[in-house]
């Protein structure tokens, strides 16, 4: 069991089974690690903004840097009209980042390696952005599916293709994060298993790989959170500023 690389992704319930109308609402290890990430984010922001000194302490610096990072990202990709959505994008980025980073700790569980978690986040963004688009532009938002300068004969085909490409957004957004986390953690575990099975003689090579891969995984964990947030900004930009 210790050598099974997929064992780490198992979801099991902690504590009593809770059943509400046929829906299993038990507190699982996934919920536990989501709660841990949320508490970590809240405490970082709480302690980071508690003492507002002119020369910032390390924790205040991290908080301020994450704020300016997201603010700049929104300004660059979606323009100043998207500033109202800063809290949403910031929450999303911090949650994905902390879930990924907490998953890098030994004996922890990576919440973002579950497709249902990432798909829920992506579906939330997709539905939200579509509603924002319709509220802002009304029925004119459907112009997104009709590119300019297309001959009338090709128009039905192009519209279907555009609709498919629009519907593919949540799928690509969720699969990207899920697949990256799943593949990375499986690979780490496989190399870890090699260390044990090759023993003291041959185990050093996979061990060094494991160390290098851990560094790569931390980079991927940050990068995937960044990509998730920046794509949210791009979709917001499409919804707010039509045809730009």
Positions in the binding site for another protein (CB under 8 A): 76, 157, 160-162, 164-165, 167-169, 171-172, 175-176, 179-180, 222-224, 226-227, 230-231, 234
**Residue closer to another protein (CB basis): 196 or 216:** 216
**Residue closer to another protein (CB basis): 23 or 164:** 164
- 148 burial (CB, 10 Å; 0-12 / 13-18 / 19+) is exposed
Give the residues across from 28 on adjacent strands.
13
State how far the Cα of 222 lies from the Cα of 42, in Å rounded to an integer.
Answer: 19
Least distance in Å: CB of 203 to another protein?
A: 31
State how far the Cα of 227 lies from the Cα of 221, in Å rounded to an integer.
Answer: 10
DSSP-assigned states of every residue in 146-176: S-TT--TTTHHHHHHHHHHHHHHHHHHHHHH
Least distance in Å: CB of 140 to another protein?
A: 20
Both tokens of 2, joined, read: 């210790």
Least distance in Å: CB of 178 to another protein?
A: 10
Taking a C-beta distance cutoff of 8 angstroms, is the pair 83, 75 a contact? yes
Taking a C-beta distance cutoff of 8 angstroms, is the pair 145, 130 a contact? no
Least distance in Å: CB of 84 to another protein?
A: 23
**Residue closer to another protein (CB basis): 111 or 177:** 177
How crowded is residue 116: how many other Cβ atoms within 10 Å of its Cβ? 11
Least distance in Å: CB of 182 to another protein?
A: 13
**Residue closer to another protein (CB basis): 37 or 118:** 118
What residue spans of the chain are helical by DSSP H? 29-48, 58-78, 86-103, 115-137, 155-202, 204-240
**Residue closer to another protein (CB basis): 146 or 196:** 146
**Residue closer to another protein (CB basis): 42 or 223:** 223
Least distance in Å: CB of 121 to another protein?
A: 15
Least distance in Å: CB of 61 to another protein?
A: 19
Taking a C-beta distance cutoff of 8 angstroms, is the pair 70, 86 a contact? yes
DSSP state of 3: T
**Residue closer to another protein (CB basis): 34 or 74:** 74
């Amino acid at each position: 069991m210790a050598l099974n690389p997929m064992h780490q992704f198992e979801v099991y319930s902690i504590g009593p089974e809770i059943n509400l109308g046929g829906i299993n609402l038990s507190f699982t290890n996934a919920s536990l690690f989501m709660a841990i990430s949320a508490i970590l984010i809240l405490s970082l922001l709480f302690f980071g903004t508690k003492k507002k000194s002119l020369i910032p302490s390390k924790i205040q610096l991290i908080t301020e840097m994450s704020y300016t990072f997201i603010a700049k990202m929104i300004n660059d990709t979606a323009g100043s009209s998207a500033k109202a959505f800063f809290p949403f994008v910031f929450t999303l980025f911090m949650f994905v980042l902390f879930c990924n980073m907490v998953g890098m700790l030994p004996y922890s569980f990576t919440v973002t390696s579950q497709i249902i978690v990432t798909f829920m986040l992506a579906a939330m963004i997709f539905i939200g952005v579509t509603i924002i688009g319709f509220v802002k532009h009304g029925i004119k938002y459907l112009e997104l599916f009709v590119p300019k300068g297309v001959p009338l004969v090709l128009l039905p085909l192009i519209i279907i293709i555009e609709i498919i490409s629009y519907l593919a957004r949540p799928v690509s957004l969720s699969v990207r994060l899920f697949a990256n986390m799943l593949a990375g953690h499986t690979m780490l575990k496989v190399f870890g298993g090699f260390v044990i099975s090759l023993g003291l003689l041959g185990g050093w090579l996979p061990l060094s790989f494991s160390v290098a891969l851990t560094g790569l995984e931390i980079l991927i964990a940050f990068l995937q959170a960044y990509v998730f947030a920046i794509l949210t900004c791009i979709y917001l930009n499409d919804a707010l500023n039509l045809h730009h």
